Amino acid sequence: MSGDRKDDHVRLAAEQQASGPRRNGYDDVAFVHHALDGIDVDQVTLCTEVADAPWPLPFYINAMTGGSDMTGAVNRDLAIAARETGAAIASGSVSIALGDPSVAPTFRVLREENPDGFVMANLGVERSADDARRAVELLEANALQVHVNAVQETVMPEGSRSFSTWPSSLERIIAAVDVPVIVKEVGFGLSSGTLRRLADMGVAYADVSGNGGTDFVRVENERRPQRDYGYLEGWGQSTVACLLEAPAGAPTLLASGGVRSPLDVARALALGARAVGVSGSFLSVVLDGGAEALRDRIQEWTMHLGSLFALLGAEDLTALRTTDVVVSGATAQFCAARGVDLTTLAQRSLGRSSNAR
């Protein structure tokens, strides 16, 4: 594993952002507008609670990078923006630093610049229980993200092709660490069946990280001389499809993958996410304008999100989950095929005391 690969990931993921926001599953999700339901923005609280901690913002800077000089500098900027806004933040996979202590500072910077913030360490599911403990120690992390990325490994030139031991490896990691574990995909989604398996294993948090944003098939395929896996682009389920089909009893849900705007954050929260992770959209901001630009962007999203809550008549996350949401297009077709009822979702406000519509 090398720092060059980390640089490639950042460069190729940023290139995907260059053409601007793309249509994705979020475009199939619309709030029903009720013209008299609005409240005052100062009645709104955006705070949430994740992994036993209060988060002032319901969106966070999701796992990206570390492991080279360039990505260490990116992490410094991400950490400063997190510190100045109160956003929670995740590291990229720290595997590389566990094997090569000389690059540990490119991850440690996330904690050093943000000593009081909520910081998540990130590691692949195939790693040992001891590695998981070391990953948490490295960042004095508040939680551990464990990524499950079989699609990425399949296309990655140096990737693994052995996935059968992942469930048992995950169980060992969960048993070994004493911070909350968040199992996450990397942009291909967690199905209802996977969420059920995770719940059975005792996983408390899952970040569904669905498709529609950064596509790691595309990233890894660009790193192959033959570029021979192009046909797999678009693999997986969208973030909204994952949220919609999540079974009762699933781990507490976080949502990432394809989040382009404060409206996408509100959509994911309304569909049940406890918090919403953003990688690609924030990466291009930080690469173009550094920590200050990302701080400004996060503050802008926070302000907009408060306004959207007020417009929707939701004073907090719980109230947002009683808004009427209509799902159409390919996402509705997916839900029909998977036996997910969408009519209740479109009429949730009937149960609200203030609205006898």
* Contacting positions for ligand FNR (CB under 6 A): 9-10, 13, 62-65, 92-93, 122, 145, 147, 184, 186-187, 209, 213-214, 256-259, 278-281, 283
Q: How far is the CB of 68 from ligand FNR (least distance, A)?
A: 12
* Residue whose C-beta lies closest to ligand FNR: 213
Considering the complex, state which of residue 16 and residue 252 has its C-beta at the smaller distance from ligand FNR.
16
SS3 181: strand
Considering the complex, state which of residue 24 and residue 114 has its C-beta at the smaller distance from ligand FNR.
24
Q: How far is the CB of 220 from ligand FNR (least distance, A)?
A: 11
Q: How far is the CB of 80 from ligand FNR (least distance, A)?
A: 18
Q: How far is the CB of 226 from ligand FNR (least distance, A)?
A: 23
Q: What is the DSSP letter of 238?
A: B
Give the residue among 344, 343, 335, 342 at the shortest CA–CA distance from 245. 335
Residue at 82: amino acid letter: A
Considering the complex, state which of residue 91 and residue 349 has its C-beta at the smaller distance from ligand FNR.
91
Three-state helix/strand/coil letters over 193-219: HHHHHHHHCCCCEEECCCECCCCHHHH
Q: How far is the CB of 62 from ligand FNR (least distance, A)?
A: 4
**CA dist., res. 258 & res. 281, Å (int):** 8
Q: What's the N-to-C CA distance of the chain in angstroms? A: 58
Task: State the pairing for strand pair 48-50/205-207.
Answer: unpaired
- Tell me how crowded residue 182 is: count the other CB atoms within 10 A of its CB: 25
Considering the complex, state which of residue 72 and residue 213 has its C-beta at the smaller distance from ligand FNR.
213
Considering the complex, state which of residue 78 and residue 80 has its C-beta at the smaller distance from ligand FNR.
78
